Structure 1
Amino acid sequence: MKHTLMMTAAALTLGLNMTAQAAEPLKIGISAEPYPPFTYTSSEGEWTGFEVELGMAICEAMDEACEITPTGWSGIIPSLKAGRIDMIMNSMSITQARQRVIDFSQPYYFTPGAFVAADDLALEVPEGLDGLVLGVQSATTNATYARRALRDSVGDIRLYDQAEQVNRDLLAGRLDVILADEIAMTEFLERDEAEGYEIKATAPRHEAYGEGVGIGIRKGDDALKTKIDAAIAQVRDDGTCSILSEQYFGTDICT
């Protein structure tokens, strides 16, 4: 009888532990500031976009429950390190500087930076940037590239907290040119208000851009990294990543 009670108690404990685990989905950190078409809110107020859908497909491949957890971009790495989120999936490039504080999965896409300006502006990059005002989102690889490679070529570099602020100031005439992710800029230029603007050039391969875009993971979380890497390989091999890429961009950006 005592043995039976002990087994029953153990089974209850196991059941409670399994319930607790099921109640704690992995938290996917994305920037609280929309970054279409990668991450944005739908008309119903739900987060969607290429990386949201791909993130959920990766979680399905891992057989893990996940939830989207919006976090301010400037605080997204501290939130990961503090355990408030479990992974970052927000077009974060794998760079040496970031690898000193967090780990990354294998890359799942790569896209260069693009210079965007009015179509009637004759612009050669970087020679033609002299005297112009360049806008770029802070804490991004594009900002790092601008500081390292363009500071002696451009008249003024202005940093912004949010990508949409950069776009608005370009349209308002407060900036001459902006530097941002090429895929995001292709989407931006499809807006009615962006008529009359175009991509002038793409940034060359530079160490500031790292090895591509990967999922950020806490240092030492090796088991999760192994599962994510296997899941990325699966969604690439079974075509899920390419299908979503074609849906959102009209091209395949999956590495």
Structure 2
Amino acid sequence: MNIAFAADSEPFSYPGENGEALGFDAALCMRMCEELELRPVFLIMPRDELLSAVRCGIADIAVSSLAADDDSRRLTDFTDSYITLSSSIVTNVNNTAVRSTYDLREAANIAVVYGSLSHSYAMEQGLSNISLFKNAGDAKDALLSGAADVLLSDSRTAYELVTENVGFAIRESGIASREYHIAVRDGSSDMLRNINEVLGGFKEDNTLLDLRLAYINGNSGLRAEYDARLTALQSKQNM
């Protein structure tokens, strides 16, 4: 399976030391091809060429945190969504200054994971009072330790923090919600159906949750395992 891939959006798609395709989306494609008994071949290219590559037959699918908007659907078909991301605001319950997105400029220091949807949202809003962290665990620790007074993170991370730690509350959720899909060549109904069946199975057997833990929620050990498998897979192909 030829996979158009833009290695430009960590943690979903980024390059390895030797140019390998790594990240949530690469690991998803690896697992998907295992289920379909196909060999994944990653074709790394600029993001604005992904859908064209699928449309003209260079690639069978494209994956790199793609949103299926109306313009994109005119070019290719899209699978069911494989992940939905949104951001939430978490503070100490005694924090009265920040209760919603309207108050974020009043925060002293907002903990955000670098390259995340929350990071994109913060940049779009022109927020300068942010501190960037490599993963969700470090961002949570910043709030818990008092180094940050606000956590702006994906909603699952926010929920885990408030359920595991007394004295913290979600102030607003569902911020900048976004669904990601795989682009498939228009008219490839069999491939579309097969991929959707695999994605449905991944939702039931927690494969998608496993990938989320590795790449979104900061399980660095699990992430390293997936990236090592991806590196080995692509190294064999290049021999």
Match of 2:152? 199
Match of 2:209? 242
Judging changes above 3 Å, is the alpha-carbon distance between structure 1 residues 216 and 114 closer, same or farther for their aligned structure 2 residues? farther
Tell me by how many angstroms 1:99 deviates: 2.0
Which residue type is aligned with residue 176 of structure 1? Answer: S
Tell me by how many angstroms 1:204 deviates: 4.3
Match of 2:83 among 109, 121, 130: 109
Deviates more, 1:196-205 or 1:89-98: 196-205
| Residue 21 of structure 2 corresponds to residue 69 of structure 1 | no
TM-score normalised by structure 1 residue count: 0.53
Which residue type is aligned with residue 108 of structure 1? Answer: Y
CA–CA distance in 1 between the matches of 2:49 and 2:183?
13
Question: Structure 2 matches for 1:101-250, cutoff 5 A?
Answer: 101-112=75-86, 127=102, 176=128, 186=136, 198-199=151-152, 204=174, 209=178, 212-250=179-217
| SS in structure 2 at match of 1:220 | coil
CA–CA distance in 2 between the matches of 1:203 and 1:238?
27
Cα pair 2:7 2:15 within 8 Å, conserved: no
Judging changes above 3 Å, is the alpha-carbon distance between structure 1 residues 100 and 188 closer, same or farther for their aligned structure 2 residues? farther
CA–CA distance in 1 between the matches of 2:210 and 2:182?
19
Match of 1:88? 62
Cα pair 1:59 1:231 within 8 Å, conserved: no
| Residue 9 of structure 2 corresponds to residue 30 of structure 1 | no
Judging changes above 3 Å, is the alpha-carbon distance between structure 1 residues 248 and 185 closer, same or farther for their aligned structure 2 residues? closer
CA–CA distance in 2 between the matches of 1:32 and 1:199?
25
Tell me by how many angstroms 1:128 deviates: 5.9
Deviates more, 1:195-204 or 1:96-105: 195-204
Supply the RMSD in Å over aligned alpha carbons: 4.3
Which structure would you say has the larger Rg? 1
CA–CA distance in 1 between the matches of 2:199 and 2:25?
12
Judging changes above 3 Å, is the alpha-carbon distance between structure 1 residues 227 and 198 closer, same or farther for their aligned structure 2 residues? same
| SS in structure 2 at match of 1:242 | helix
Cα pair 2:7 2:22 within 8 Å, conserved: no
Judging changes above 3 Å, is the alpha-carbon distance between structure 1 residues 243 and 175 closer, same or farther for their aligned structure 2 residues? closer
Judging changes above 3 Å, is the alpha-carbon distance between structure 1 residues 100 and 204 closer, same or farther for their aligned structure 2 residues? farther
Judging changes above 3 Å, is the alpha-carbon distance between structure 1 residues 39 and 32 closer, same or farther for their aligned structure 2 residues? closer
Which residue type is aligned with residue 38 of structure 2? Answer: E
Tell me by how many angstroms 1:175 deviates: 6.4
Tell me by how many angstroms 1:127 deviates: 4.4
- Overall identity of the aligned pairs, in %: 19
CA–CA distance in 2 between the matches of 1:226 and 1:213?
17
CA–CA distance in 1 between the matches of 2:181 and 2:30?
15
Judging changes above 3 Å, is the alpha-carbon distance between structure 1 residues 96 and 125 closer, same or farther for their aligned structure 2 residues? farther
Judging changes above 3 Å, is the alpha-carbon distance between structure 1 residues 104 and 177 closer, same or farther for their aligned structure 2 residues? farther
> For 1:72-93, what per-residue CA distance to the aligned partner results, in whole angstroms no more than 9, with x for missing partners?
1122222221222221111112
Q: Which has the larger strand fraction?
A: 2
> For 1:168-222, what per-residue CA distance to the aligned partner results, in whole angstroms no more than 9, with x for missing partners?
9x99xx96379xxxxx9848958x9xx868528877477x84xx21111121111
In structure 2, runs of 5+ residues without a counterpart are 90-96, 106-114, 154-170, 219-239
CA–CA distance in 1 between the matches of 2:135 and 2:214?
16
